[in-house]
Amino acid sequence: MRHLRKRGWLSYTIDELIEEVTNYKERGFKAVKIKVGAANWKTDVERLQLVRQAVGNELNIMMDANQGMQLPEAIQLANKARELNIYWFEEPLHHQNFEGYKTLKQQTGISLAMGEREYNIQPLKELISRNALDIWQPDILRIGGVEAWRASAALADAHHLPVLPHYYKDYDVPLVCSVPNGAGVESFDWIDPLIDNPMLVKNGFAYPHNQPGWGFRFLDEHLHEIK
């Protein structure tokens, strides 16, 4: 059983964003992730303020820029966002800008989350050496499968970093349950209609499948051969 996180997209209007995060709270989710990276960072602050007002202090709020910011703007946003008790700042800069992440961490003190873009553990080592990472987010499809995912989680654990993987809850929940530093998983409903045994999600917690293997399979009607 693991905590789940949901997200609100940058393309949403304010009304759509508030409606969605309020729905997540009503469904029992413990945290929401808000997309940032508007043309003006002050717009991001306004959206984050409205989300905080809507959900109160009960939910953790994270912000995710998908590598869409430059360092000066990221520093300004991070400093302002700390007043709103933002849980972490995810991928504010290009994922290989290791020195930039070091500077951002030193100048703002905000927690930084990264890892979904990586295909090996070298970036994790680079970030650890600079004290520029607080949450490791491996993507099982990119980093090289189960063994590589677990190896990266072990390296993160050796440096006292929690793991909260990227995207695929039906794979990520059992993986996170297998490591000592698992902090939670992301939750998307999009994949549920594509598989035969959607994972039970209740009151913000996910419950691992109890069938053999991953505990699910993709439905045949959604599988197509690429020619």
| Domain spans, the chain | 2-188
Separation of alpha carbons 221 and 17, rounded Å: 33
Which of 8 and 27 is assigned the larger pLDDT?
A: 27
Separation of alpha carbons 151 and 140, rounded Å: 11
Residue 90: pLDDT band with limits 50, 70, 90: very high
Q: What share of the chain has pLDDT > 90, as a percent?
A: 77
| pTM score over 0.95 | no
Q: pLDDT tens digits for 157-174?
A: 999 999 999 988 999 999
Give every CB contact of residue 201 below 8 A, 6+ residues apart in sequence: 4, 169, 187, 207
Residue 4: pLDDT band with limits 50, 70, 90: very low
Query: CATH assignment of 2-188, given 1.10.101.10, 3.40.50.10420, 3.10.20.30, 3.20.20.120?
Result: 3.20.20.120
- Which is nearest to 103 in space by CA: 61, 66, 70, 147? 70
Q: Does the pLDDT value for residue 33 go beyond 60?
A: yes
Separation of alpha carbons 191 and 151, rounded Å: 26
In this prediction, residue 2 carries a pLDDT of 46
Residue 21: pLDDT band with limits 50, 70, 90: very high
Residue 70: pLDDT band with limits 50, 70, 90: very high
Separation of alpha carbons 88 and 103, rounded Å: 16
In this prediction, residue 47 carries a pLDDT of 94
